[in-house]
């Protein structure tokens, strides 16, 4: 779990734990309306909020905090983790189990929302680069924009564009999204956080136009970071946009034939 994942998880766990203690404590003093069943239902809402804010781990922590808070404030003997009634034991266990299930569902919904947002962002990256190419912007502007987009999309440590001939040989990111070793029928598979992890020295993403190699991006990863298949396919699409822009720029720079 990286730093960008730990913060939401911590926030979600805090919401679940603090919310469970506060809700159970307050409802222990409002009279007969707050029956144990009603309290359990309200605590379930707190679990959902914790899971929605922080994911699966936060949902599990929230479910545990909700069950303990229910036990401490709502069951006899009060303000103790012992439970004297069989019915209250069953309610506490059901609260824990249901809380874990609901937390899992909420966490899956959160993952779905993140995936949808990521897909929308990836489409916007391709559209932005296509607009620059359609506007006839200089190839250098398109390359600079693509470099920034690739760095952000793949969480790279660095990204650079090179023209042939190349001084170094790297593993290659193919149009299918797989990574291969040049001149050898080997598909590379190194899984890191979020997907396939590129080698530390980087991988080459060829920029092609009509099948001709007119350049490449060298993608140097951040240690421990990986890229999903969808992200790798989007990276290839960005390189294709650059290929069109570079080829158009080269055509404009060629002297007219006599």
Same domain, 101 and 151: no
CA 173/CA 154 separation, integer angstroms: 12
In a domain, 77, yes or no: yes
Which tokens in the block code for residue 187? 């598909």
What is the per-residue pLDDT for 157?
Answer: 94
In a domain, 131, yes or no: no
Q: What is the pLDDT tens value at each position of the chain, 258 positions in all? A: 444 556 677 888 898 899 989 988 888 876 555 677 788 888 888 888 888 788 778 888 888 888 888 888 887 787 777 776 777 777 778 778 877 777 677 767 766 666 666 657 777 777 777 788 778 788 889 999 999 999 999 999 999 999 999 988 999 999 888 888 876 655 556 666 668 889 889 999 999 888 888 999 999 999 888 888 888 988 998 998 898 887 776 555 544 433
The count of structural domains within the chain is 2
What is the per-residue pLDDT for 98?
Answer: 76
Which tokens in the block code for residue 171? 């593993």
The C-alpha angle 222, 223, 225, rounded to 5 degrees, equals 70
Same domain, 102 and 175: no
In a domain, 127, yes or no: no
Domain that holds residue 100: 3-113
Please write down the HEC assignment for all residues of 23-57: HHHHHCCCCCCCCHHHHHHHHHHHHHHHHHHHCHH
In a domain, 209, yes or no: yes
Same domain, 92 and 183: no
What is the per-residue pLDDT for 217?
Answer: 96
Same domain, 104 and 147: no
């Amino acid at each position: 779990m990286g730093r960008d994942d730990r913060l939401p998880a911590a926030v979600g766990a805090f919401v679940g734990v603090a919310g469970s203690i506060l809700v159970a404590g307050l409802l222990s003093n409002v009279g007969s309306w707050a029956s144990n069943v009603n309290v359990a239902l309200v605590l379930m809402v707190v679990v959902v909020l914790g899971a929605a804010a922080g994911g699966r781990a936060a949902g599990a922590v929230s479910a545990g905090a909700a069950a303990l808070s229910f036990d401490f404030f709502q069951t006899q003997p009060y303000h103790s983790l012992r439970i004297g009634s069989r019915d209250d034991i069953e309610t506490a266990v059901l609260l824990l189990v249901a809380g874990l299930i609901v937390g899992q569902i909420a966490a899956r919904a959160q993952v779905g929302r993140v995936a949808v947002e990521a897909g929308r962002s990836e489409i916007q990256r391709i559209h932005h680069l296509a607009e620059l190419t359609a506007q006839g912007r200089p190839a250098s502007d398109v390359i600079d924009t693509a470099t920034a987009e690739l760095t952000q999309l793949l969480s790279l440590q660095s990204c650079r564009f090179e023209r042939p001939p190349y001084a170094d040989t790297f593993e290659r990111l193919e149009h299918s999204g797989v990574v291969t070793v040049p001149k050898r029928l080997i598909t590379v598979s190194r899984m890191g956080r979020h997907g396939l992890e590129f080698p530390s020295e980087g991988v080459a993403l060829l920029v092609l136009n009509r099948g001709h190699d007119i350049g490449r991006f060298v993608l140097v990863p951040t240690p421990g970071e990986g890229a999903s298949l969808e992200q790798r396919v989007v990276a290839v699409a960005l390189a294709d946009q650059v290929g069109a822009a570079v080829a158009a720029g080269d055509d404009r720079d060629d002297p007219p034939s006599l």
